[in-house]
A and B are shown apart, each in its own frame.
Chain A
Amino acid sequence: MELGQMQGRLAEFTKSLYMEGILDAQFLQLQQLQDESNPDFVVEVVSLFFEDSEKLLNDIARALDQQSVDFKRVDAHVHQLKGSSASVGAQRVKNACVAFRNCCEEQNVEGCLRCLQQVKQEHYLVKNKLETLFRLEQQIVAAGGSVPMAEMTF
């Protein structure tokens, strides 16, 4: 595939992520922070996010598995996850966390487990999508092109 086509595909793909609400404006902000002195900023932040969040999700699952569930603790983890997903622009994950916190407040184990599923799903989705995104970017760079800065014109 030639460069122009690849860039077009990337643009389309990126656009779809925003349209579907998987990513929000914060992701754009991250891309703005990437420059010559910090060329891999986005990838680094996103990687850290996935590391962190996977750990958090495991912690949450374990906490919900206890005989007597410590909802405060669960809430604290979810709060963390909400914060970090907001920081990278993972909008659907963040929203799922908000719903999760409500369940924690109600101290409803069933509800929490359902929420956890939801969060996991969204997390999995955004992880896949971003991996695809980064792969496309790498291909373009390897082919000698540059990745244009996305604009929120839609």
Chain B
Amino acid sequence: MGLIRTQEETGRHVRMLTHEIRSTLDRHTILKTTLVELGRTLALEECALWMPTRTGLELQLSYTLRQQNPVEYTVPIHLPVINQVFSSVRAVKISHSSPVARLRPLAVKYMPGEVVAIRVPLLHLSNFQINDWPEFPTKPYALMVLMLPSDSARQWHDHELELVEVVADQVAVALSHAAILEESMRARDLLMEQNVALDHARREAETAIRARNDFLAVMNHEMRTPMHAMIALSSLLQETKLTPEQRLMVETILRSSNLLDTLINDVLDLSRLEDGSLQLDVETFNLHAVFKEVLNLIKPVASVKKLMVTLNLAQELPVYAVGDEKRLMQTMLNVVGNAVKFSKEGSISIAAFVEKSESLRDSRAPDFFPVPSDNHFYLRVQVKDSGSGISPQDIPKIFTKFSQTQSLVTRNSGGSGLGLAISKRFVNLMGGHIWLESEGIGKGCTATFVVKLGIPGLSNESKFPFAPKVPANHGQTDFPGLKALVMDDSGVSRMVTEGLLVHLGCEVTTVSSSEECLRVVSHEHHVVFLDVCAPGIDGYELAANIREKFTRQLEKPLIIALTGDTTDKVTKENCARFGINGVLMKPVSVDKMRSTLSELWTNGFYTRPS
């Protein structure tokens, strides 16, 4: 009876102890609680836990029940008694004189109580890293020592030993849980720290970029303000009564100021160029005029140096092109300017061609494969000078930012050396290539660049069909002076289209047949609207005929097909082949017509009369 009762009690105690031990995930609390509860349940005199040290060679007294701050005794781990305990799953009775049992001060005079020791398995640390728990290859155990009260006749009973064994196991489990928790918390803390650091770094980078942009914006503003004053006042001066010489001077001032303005923009652009965030402004412009302007700007300087400058534009060079006019001009000025700068005497020749397919593959630019298409052409510009030339080893450095070769520096030429670097970037952005050739010092230099420009009016990527890209509130509200010709065989349609165009301020002529259309159309008409689905009228043929009537590109009107059919009769290829520039579905709304006409205006097909 007594045995069963104690077994029952054992069970109860175990459960209670287990519960206490497992109620926390904190390692220290687990251990302390274990000792406390064991001490109470078994009425122990002392209970202690020896933990292996970092080195794994010793056991250190880590926790005791009775002593508040145990002195940190250590014992070597390889003591026979310890080995004995570690190699048994059971609680082992040990001598009270063995080193691990010497827990109480030696002043005890009485008969010490019996001592048992049991191993407490620690989780194998190869499973995870716990930094301040020691690593062991072999004996991951702690040692728990329990001492019965001295001067009592008590002896360790079996059920008590059982209790101890069970508790030891539970402690092991609880400790492993605690270890896992500690590890994950450590990992989380580490992660948080890293995040904070990254965030900080990011914010610093952003601040730096903002600071740079602010600086650029301020400098931009500071530099532009006097520029604007110069430009504005020069313009005003132009309006006053001036002698011819004075007028010439003011014009030169204005031109130079505009040029400087562009240069300022580009110093600031350079940083955007490096970012890769610069985008070209694409618009239709007069290509011939650009060359003439370059010539005008360079002539004064050239004539002072008694240099002869010639310009040769190829016959087939289009008058109008689509691209970034300002930056093309800047590139040309840079190249031509260098030619003038480094020539003491002689002549400078500027030649511009349309690159033919065969000559597009240049052996000097082997990576460059220009592919001409229907709506683009390649412009080649060659600037030859008879100046100081460049030595072969300097040629690769020419396009490097800020680098100046010895000969250039001694020339006292000034300039920061940014020009060619910027030009190269622009040319690259324009899908082209730039290079220099020279036969050596004193033998002059030829600078060549090829860039890709668009042909206005023909299928530019998204301009066909005329999906109104310009939102209604962006466009013009009316188009005075825009001359339109409307060809439609239906009286009602004619009237409606005419009404639409008149409402938008255009001057409209209407015709009802192809013959009449061909007869009436003149170079003054900016745009012709053709009804292409009228039976008996071949809209394509008519379009082709209209275009043929005018030989000069400038005189050809824009042709827009109007169709009520959703059939694919009006296809992109056909339209491109016959020179039709856009298609509108009838009936055309006011907004759609307005945005179509806006696009005409934007592309330079028609300019508002001043």
Q: Is the CB of B490 within 8 A of A33?
A: no
Given the complex of chains A and B, what is the CA–CA distance between A74 and B501 in angstroms?
31
Q: How many whole Å from A76's CB to the nearest CB in chain B?
A: 5
* From B500, B503, B586, contact of A83 by CB (8 A): B586
| Known pairs A32-B503, A38-B503; A86 contacts B586 (CB<8 A) | yes
A33, A76, A89 — most chain B CB neighbours (10 Å): A33
Bitwise, A34-71 to B at CB < 8 A (1) or not (0) is 01011001001100110010000000000000000000
| Known pairs A48-B491, A76-B535, A79-B535; A88 contacts B496 (CB<8 A) | yes
Q: How many whole Å from B337's CB to the nearest CB in chain A?
A: 54
Whether B495 is near chain A, meaning CB under 8 Å from some CB there, is yes
Residues of A within 8 A of B499 (CB): 30, 33, 38, 41, 45
Q: How many whole Å from A27's CB to the nearest CB in chain B?
A: 10
Whether B564 is near chain A, meaning CB under 8 Å from some CB there, is yes
Whether A80 is near chain B, meaning CB under 8 Å from some CB there, is yes
* From B495, B536, B589, contact of A45 by CB (8 A): B495
Whether B234 is near chain A, meaning CB under 8 Å from some CB there, is no
Bitwise, A77-105 to B at CB < 8 A (1) or not (0) is 00110111011110000000000000000
* From A37, A48, A79, contact of B492 by CB (8 A): A48
Whether B237 is near chain A, meaning CB under 8 Å from some CB there, is no
Tell me the B550-607 residues at the A interface (CB within 8 Å): 564, 586-587, 589-590
Given the complex of chains A and B, what is the CA–CA distance between A61 and B45 in angstroms?
125
Given the complex of chains A and B, what is the CA–CA distance between A45 and B500 in angstroms?
12
Q: Is the CB of A86 within 8 A of B503?
A: no
Whether B92 is near chain A, meaning CB under 8 Å from some CB there, is no
Given the complex of chains A and B, what is the CA–CA distance between A79 and B533 in angstroms?
9
Q: Is the CB of B590 within 8 A of A33?
A: yes
Given the complex of chains A and B, what is the CA–CA distance between A25 and B490 in angstroms?
20
Residues of A within 8 A of B589 (CB): 25-26, 29
A45, A80, A83 — most chain B CB neighbours (10 Å): A83
Residues of B within 8 A of A37 (CB): 502
Chain B's closest residue to A79 (CB) is: B535
Bitwise, B531-560 to A at CB < 8 A (1) or not (0) is 001011000000000000000000000000
Q: How many whole Å from B492's CB to the nearest CB in chain A?
A: 4
Q: Is the CB of B495 within 8 A of A83?
A: no
Residues of B within 8 A of A25 (CB): 589
Chain B's closest residue to A35 (CB) is: B503
Whether B257 is near chain A, meaning CB under 8 Å from some CB there, is no
| Known pairs A30-B496, A32-B590, A38-B503; A83 contacts B564 (CB<8 A) | yes
Residues of B within 8 A of A38 (CB): 499, 502-503
Q: Is the CB of B587 within 8 A of A33?
A: no
Residues of A within 8 A of B477 (CB): none
Name A's interface SS: helix
* From B489, B502, B535, B586, contact of A87 by CB (8 A): B586
Given the complex of chains A and B, what is the CA–CA distance between A26 and B533 in angstroms?
19
Q: Is the CB of B496 within 8 A of A87?
A: yes
Q: How many whole Å from A81's CB to the nearest CB in chain B?
A: 9
Whether B493 is near chain A, meaning CB under 8 Å from some CB there, is yes
Q: How many whole Å from A84's CB to the nearest CB in chain B?
A: 4
Q: How many whole Å from A113's CB to the nearest CB in chain B?
A: 22
Q: Is the CB of A83 within 8 A of B590?
A: no
Q: Is the CB of A86 within 8 A of B590?
A: no
Given the complex of chains A and B, what is the CA–CA distance between A38 and B504 in angstroms?
12
Q: Is the CB of A82 within 8 A of B495?
A: no
| Known pairs A29-B590, A32-B590, A76-B536; A84 contacts B492 (CB<8 A) | yes
Q: How many whole Å from A35's CB to the nearest CB in chain B?
A: 7
Q: Is the CB of A49 within 8 A of B535?
A: no
Bitwise, A1-42 to B at CB < 8 A (1) or not (0) is 000000000000000000000000110011011010110010
Given the complex of chains A and B, what is the CA–CA distance between A89 and B535 in angstroms?
22
Given the complex of chains A and B, what is the CA–CA distance between A82 and B566 in angstroms?
13
Q: Is the CB of B503 within 8 A of A82?
A: no
Q: Is the CB of A83 within 8 A of B491?
A: no
Chain A's closest residue to B504 (CB) is: A33
Chain B's closest residue to A25 (CB) is: B589
Given the complex of chains A and B, what is the CA–CA distance between A73 and B586 in angstroms?
22
Q: Is the CB of B492 within 8 A of A26?
A: no
Q: Is the CB of A87 within 8 A of B536?
A: no
Chain B's closest residue to A32 (CB) is: B590
Given the complex of chains A and B, what is the CA–CA distance between A82 and B564 in angstroms?
9
Q: Is the CB of A52 within 8 A of B503?
A: no
Given the complex of chains A and B, what is the CA–CA distance between A66 and B533 in angstroms?
26
* From B493, B503, B535, contact of A33 by CB (8 A): B503
Given the complex of chains A and B, what is the CA–CA distance between A29 and B593 in angstroms?
11
Residues of A within 8 A of B536 (CB): 76
Q: Is the CB of A83 within 8 A of B496?
A: no
- Going nearest first, the 10 A-B pairs with the smallest beta carbon separation are A84-B492, A87-B496, A33-B499, A33-B503, A76-B535, A26-B587, A87-B493, A49-B492, A83-B490, A87-B492
A→B interface (CB under 8 Å): 25-26, 29-30, 32-33, 35, 37-38, 41, 44-45, 48-49, 52, 75-76, 79-80, 82-84, 86-89
26 sample A-B contacts, Cβ–Cβ < 8 Å, listed by A number? A25-B589, A26-B587, A29-B500, A29-B587, A32-B503, A33-B499, A33-B500, A33-B502, A33-B590, A41-B499, A45-B495, A45-B496, A45-B499, A48-B491, A48-B492, A76-B535, A79-B535, A80-B489, A80-B490, A83-B533, A84-B491, A84-B492, A84-B493, A86-B587, A87-B586, A88-B496
19 new A-B pairs (CB below 8 Å) besides A33-B496, A84-B490? A25-B589, A26-B589, A29-B500, A29-B587, A32-B590, A33-B503, A37-B502, A38-B499, A38-B502, A45-B499, A48-B491, A48-B495, A76-B535, A76-B536, A79-B533, A82-B564, A83-B493, A87-B496, A87-B586
